């Protein structure tokens, strides 16, 4: 009898001990606050040159094997023109629905646009007011980036990758500098080698939408597609990196558009504080002399705030305009830095830079297998919805053995209790 009692007690100990360990997903783990830990320091990761990195190297990618950049397999899942709002990945649409339902996406009417003219809101809407805060109308949302730190020339270029990208990258490389490229999704599809030239040279990649539209003129779903597909393509082309910054084409953003970029995709909005209009060098809008005169004025002027100049890798002329200004940048004591490295030291949401060995696999919003919803949207919803909740396809419900696993702790507790009662009775 004593041997049986000892055996039962020995059986009970490990089972009861296991039951006593809280499961992170169970209520027992979350029924009291976990706020006793001190906050993380401002810099929560080791810099690339930290000695620890020689001992514990992390991967330069997220461990997933992606299709080679430029291959048909790489490009085939992506839109060949403006994204279809009825064929978006369900994860994106579900996240948008949740953000709208939570009141995180302002219900701001879409603007309308005539080519060559700034977007116009309905007469009852004040684009310069705090409710809308349109960057086109020079309203500065405090969360947006307009200025660089004092003495810094925050370098970035829009509209690539294009053939002139090659010359621009070669120039930066020859001067041991890097820059940020705010890239257009469809241009990446059409110019994969120029994309790789920038990325493999450790230049930083940001989002400049899929087809370069006026973003405030679009519905919520259209905004979602313009940002989401560009992020997805950059993610699949950079070893799993997720861009942290985006720049709206024409600087056209408002509180609705920037909220979608931030709440759904985690991106911050970047504008600029100077514009040489180099984008119009080939259309008669300006001349090389005029661009050089503007750069002379900016670079010899005050160093506070620092400079965020709108520049483009659009044409050989726009690239040449920057190259001719480079000696002025260095000669006037400016610190040229890639724009996305200036704010927190990380160019991507899940990696420090384009060549860093710290890539963390991305979350659900950037999926390896791109599956689109069979959308139940009506034509009117697709064309006009702003902050209305968007229907998504209903996922199928399946029952399997995994569901019953949730109840296992209760079975073990019951068994533990029975063993203890039996042991007590026998004693």
Show the tokens assigned to 47. 């810099």
In this structure, are residues 426 and 12 in contact, taking their beta carbons and an 8 Å threshold? Answer: no
Q: Which of 62, 158, 222, 358 is catalytic?
A: 158
Task: Please give the Cα distance from 352 to 343 (Å, whole number).
Answer: 11
Report the candidate in 247, 221, 234, 193 with the shortest Cα–Cα distance to residue 78.
234
Instruction: Kindly write down the DSSP assignment for every residue of 277-319, as one continuous string.
Output: -GGGTTTTS--HHHHHHHHHHHHTS--SSBB-EE-B-SSHHHH
Q: Choose among 250, 263, 260, 270: nearest CA to 85.
A: 260
From the CA atom positions of the chain, what is the Rg in Å?
A: 27
- Cross-strand partners of 335: 152
How many whole angstroms separate alpha carbon 54 and alpha carbon 62?
Answer: 19
- In the chain the first and final C-alpha atoms are separated, in Å, by 8
Helix (H, G, I), strand (E, B) or coil at 256: helix
Q: Is 158 a catalytic residue?
A: yes
User: Looking at 193-293, which runs of residues are DSSP E strands?
Assistant: 204-207, 245-246, 268-269, 274-275
The residues near 193 (Cβ < 8 Å, ≥ 6 apart) are 70
Q: List the structure tokens of 286.
A: 């300006």
**Residue 264 · residue 99 · CB < 8 Å:** yes
Residue 177: exposure state from Cβ atoms within 10 A (0-12, 13-18, ≥19): middle
Catalytic residue, from 203, 254, 312, 358: name it.
312
Q: Computed from CA positions of residues 323, 329, 332, 333, in that sequence, does the dihedral angle turn out positive or negative? A: negative
Q: Are 229 and 78 in contact (CB under 8 A)?
A: yes
Nearest to 183 by CA among 336, 168, 342: 168
Task: Return the closest-CA partner of residue 272 out of 352, 116, 153.
Answer: 153
Residue 90: closest CA among 377, 348, 301 = 377
- Please state the separation of Cα 379 from the chain's center in Å: 29
* Residues designated catalytic: 158, 312
């Amino acid at each position: 009898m004593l041997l049986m009692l000892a055996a039962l007690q020995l059986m009970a100990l490990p089972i009861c001990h296991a039951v006593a360990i809280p499961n992170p997903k169970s209520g027992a783990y979350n029924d009291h606050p976990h706020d006793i830990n001190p906050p993380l320091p401002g810099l929560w990761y080791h810099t690339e040159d930290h000695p620890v990195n020689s001992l514990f190297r992390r991967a330069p990618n997220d461990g997933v094997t992606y299709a080679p950049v430029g291959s048909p397999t790489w490009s085939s899942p992506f839109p060949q023109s403006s994204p279809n709002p009825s064929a978006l990945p369900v994860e994106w649409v579900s996240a948008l629905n949740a953000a709208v339902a939570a009141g995180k996406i302002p219900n701001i009417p879409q603007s309308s646009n005539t080519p060559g003219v700034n977007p116009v809101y309905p007469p009852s809407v004040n684009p310069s007011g705090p409710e809308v805060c349109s960057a086109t109308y020079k309203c500065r949302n405090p969360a947006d980036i307009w200025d660089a730190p004092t003495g810094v020339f925050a370098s970035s270029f829009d509209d690539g990758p294009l053939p002139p990208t090659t010359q621009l990258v070669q120039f930066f490389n020859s001067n041991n500098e890097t820059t940020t490229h705010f890239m257009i999704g469809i241009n990446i599809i059409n110019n994969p080698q120029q994309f790789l030239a920038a990325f493999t040279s450790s230049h930083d990649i940001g989002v400049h939408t899929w087809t370069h539209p006026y973003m405030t003129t679009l519905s919520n779903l259209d905004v979602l597609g313009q940002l989401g597909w560009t992020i997805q393509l950059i993610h699949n082309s950079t070893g799993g990196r997720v861009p942290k910054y985006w720049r709206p084409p024409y600087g056209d953003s408002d509180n609705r558009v920037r909220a979608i970029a931030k709440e759904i995709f985690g991106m911050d909005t970047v504008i600029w504080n100077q514009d040489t209009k180099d984008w119009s060098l080939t259309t008669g809008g300006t001349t090389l002399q005029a661009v050089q005169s503007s750069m002379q004025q900016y670079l010899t002027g005050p160093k506070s705030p620092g400079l965020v100049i709108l520049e483009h890798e659009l044409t050989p002329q726009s690239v040449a305009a920057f190259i001719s200004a480079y000696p002025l940048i260095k000669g006037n004591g400016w610190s040229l830095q890639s724009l996305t490295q200036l704010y927190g030291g990380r160019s991507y949401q899940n990696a420090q830079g384009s060549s860093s060995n710290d890539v963390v696999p991305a979350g659900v919003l950037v999926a390896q297998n791109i599956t689109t919803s069979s959308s139940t949207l009506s034509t009117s919803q697709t064309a006009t919805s702003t902050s209305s909740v968007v229907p998504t396809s209903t996922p199928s419900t399946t029952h399997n053995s995994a569901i019953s696993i949730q109840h296992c702790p209760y079975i073990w507790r019951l068994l533990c209790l029975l063993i203890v009662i039996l042991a007590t009775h026998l004693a």
